[in-house]
Amino acid sequence: MSIHDKTLKLVTNMDRAAIEARLAEVRSGAESRNLGELAALLKGVEGTPRAQIEERVKQGLKWLRGKPEHGALSALLELVELNLPNLK
């Protein structure tokens, strides 16, 4: 861990807007790190049904598996995954 890593607060009551904001944050982080495949997975998720968001989050986590240098992005996706049941 570097001194630049943030501490992630575990929140399990995120609404759709908060979940979509976190996904946009991950997408932006992926783009800034030249992780085009991950960014593409998360593009256009705003307003999509829960099942589609869930599938993309799972694919994103699978893509990030084994890439510890992108732990902050993984942590944000894991936080989103915990909050998926809150999507209506």
Give 10-residue mean pLDDT values along the chain (88 residues): 54 92 97 97 95 97 95 95 92
pTM of the model: 0.86
Q: How far is CA 39 from CA 28, 44, 68, in A?
A: 7, 10, 17
pLDDT reported for residue 15 = 95
pLDDT reported for residue 10 = 76
